[in-house]
Amino acid sequence: MGIAVIPKGGHVLDKFESPASELPAVEFVDVSKSFGALRVIDNLSLRIRRSERVSLIGPSGSGKTTILRLLMTLEKPSEGTIKVFGGALSAGGRGLRESEVAPLRAKIGMVFQQFNLFPHMTALANVMEAPVQVLRMPKPDAKALAESLLERVGLKEKGASYPSELSGGQQQRVAIARALAMKPQIMLFDEITSALDPEVIGEVLDVVHSLAHETKMAMLVVTHEMGFARDIADRVIFMEKGRIVEEGNPAKLFASPDNIRTKAFLNAVKR
Amino acid sequence: MDFLLQIYPALLRGAFVTMLLTLTSGAAALAVGFAVGLARLIPSRWVSVPLTIYVEVFRNTSSLVQIFYFFFVLPLVGIRFEAFTTGCAVLALNFGAYLSEVVRSSILSVDKGQYHAAIALNMPVLLRYRRIIIPQAIPVMLPAFGNYALEMLKATSLVSLITITELTFSGAQLVQFYGHPTEIYLSIFVIYLILAIPFIVLNRNLEKRAGGKWKARVPTT
């Protein structure tokens, strides 16, 4: 895959042609997002293939997290179109009706910086909640699913614990299990280690790495852990001021970035 | 002592009416408070403006004037209810206005991340509130609810002025009939305290259960 240096206001659709038979998992077309006078996403276009793993890196305020939030419908774009597997999540700067959005949103899962577990439910109940309430899965099936997912994230014994009784790393692993319970085809990881103590970051990243090996989900990862960004991704995107500055193969981009701003950023975080 | 034995049946009847008023108006106020507090979260002016007017009118005018208005003015335009119904309705509307603010602010105090997590799990909006937001908001509401329950118990004395023979009014009648204001009002005083005990105990229990099971799990503000 080539390196695309994006001219001001330009976009990259032509760099990522996928066969017509295979719609991209995610497609942003000329998307902008403003909060008042602040333009957080600036006329950005982006395609993510099925099963592709993409890391988003860049300084704070560069719009990485906003991309995930737009995709999760936690924000509406001010302009542009966002599509998921060919279906429009928002178009022409407007959100669409809930009945149109819900089936698309069902394909997306998200893990948050602050975990956002439901504090009034046990770990097991957190994982069972959406399958039972949203998918109407029978409780015994949901329980079996939740138990297997907790086991998968290494928390088989913690099903009966409340989030307040778990460490940050454990809470985040429950949050991953909770998102997996909805069987998403696209997973969004929003700075999932930023709120964690250094000694538990590894256990969370290990879970994500194993997911990357064992599943075919597309993954969109926003992180400040540069080693993780490099190792998890098929493609790394460096953003600044709401635009894609440079993107490409992780080994290449981290070793010898083409853009001077990418270089400056990587030098700054290395220190 | 003989005198107290003579008057206590009348006071007991009064206490019973006071309790009945408190429970009836309290239940109605809770229903009004939840309905209005939740409805005010709907982002539509057609809903929020009338409800805001209702809340501010009932919070910012004298409860006594409200009772008089409903009892003496509404019949002039042909709307007539029994004194007990009127009393309950006004107390329910008055306290409902306060409780709706408790409900609304408690719901708004739930961390935004909880909404985001619920959306990310594709929960429809009603499910989000029913399963995630409201269960976390209720422990936040409980201390204020307990306070208003005690306020309600005392506020029922206001409806004595529209001929409802609750505890205060029966006392006043006894004083008119027998004299002895010191003994009678002291008895009323003690009876109010005794009536308050179940509310105090109930509230403490609820808070302990909510605070015990959910303490540290529910972000309180």
Query: Tokens 């099903």, residue?
Result: A159
Sign of CA dihedral A146, A147, A151, A157: positive
Query: Tokens 């737009």, residue?
Result: A70
Interchain pair A133, B136: CB under 8 A: no
Interchain pair B120, A109: CB under 8 A: yes
pLDDT for residue B221: 34
* Residues belonging to chain B with any Cβ–Cβ distance to chain A shorter than 8 Å: 111, 113-114, 116-117, 119-125, 127, 131-132, 135-136, 214, 216-219
A220: helix, strand or coil? strand
Contact B170, B14 (CB under 8 A): yes
- Tens of pLDDT, residue by residue over A23-53, are 899 999 999 999 988 999 999 999 999 999 9
Neighbour-count burial of B105, counting CB atoms closer than 10 A to its CB (0-12 exposed, 13-18 middle, 19+ buried): middle
Neighbour-count burial of A215, counting CB atoms closer than 10 A to its CB (0-12 exposed, 13-18 middle, 19+ buried): middle
- The CA-atom distances, in angstroms, between A38 and each of A46, A64, A136, B187 are 21, 15, 41, 67
User: From the CA of B205, how many Å to the nearest CA of chain A?
Assistant: 18
pLDDT for residue B196: 92
Interchain pair B131, A114: CB under 8 A: no
Q: Give the chain B residue whose CA is nearest to the CA of A69.
A: B116
**Residue A239's beta-bridge partner residues?**
A244
For residues B12-39, give the mean pLDDT: 94
A33: helix, strand or coil? strand
Sign of CA dihedral B186, B190, B196, B200: positive
Q: Which token pair is B84? A: 């007990």
Q: Which token pair is B26? A: 């309290």
d(CA A134, CA A182): 9
Interchain pair B122, A182: CB under 8 A: yes
Query: Tokens 């306060």, residue?
Result: B98
pLDDT exceeds cutoff 90 at A13: no
Neighbour-count burial of B78, counting CB atoms closer than 10 A to its CB (0-12 exposed, 13-18 middle, 19+ buried): exposed
pLDDT exceeds cutoff 70 at A93: no
Residue A116 contacts B, CB cutoff 8 Å:
yes
For residues A148-159, give the mean pLDDT: 95
**Residue A29's beta-bridge partner residues?**
A81
Q: How many structural domains does chain B have? A: 1
Residue A142 contacts B, CB cutoff 8 Å:
no
User: From the CA of B42, how many Å to the nearest CA of chain A?
Assistant: 16
User: From the CA of A252, how many Å to the nearest CA of chain B?
Assistant: 33
Element (H, E) at B78: none
Interchain pair B216, A164: CB under 8 A: yes
Task: Choose among B122, B124, B217: nearest Cβ to A119.
Answer: B217
Q: How confident is the model at residue A269 (pLDDT cuts 50, 70, 90)?
A: confident
By residue count, chain A amounts to 271
For residues B133-150, give the mean pLDDT: 90
Calculate the CA dihedral of residues A61, A64, A69, A75 and round it to 10 degrees: 50
- Residue B120: which CATH number? 1.10.3720.10
Owning domain of residue B11: 2-217
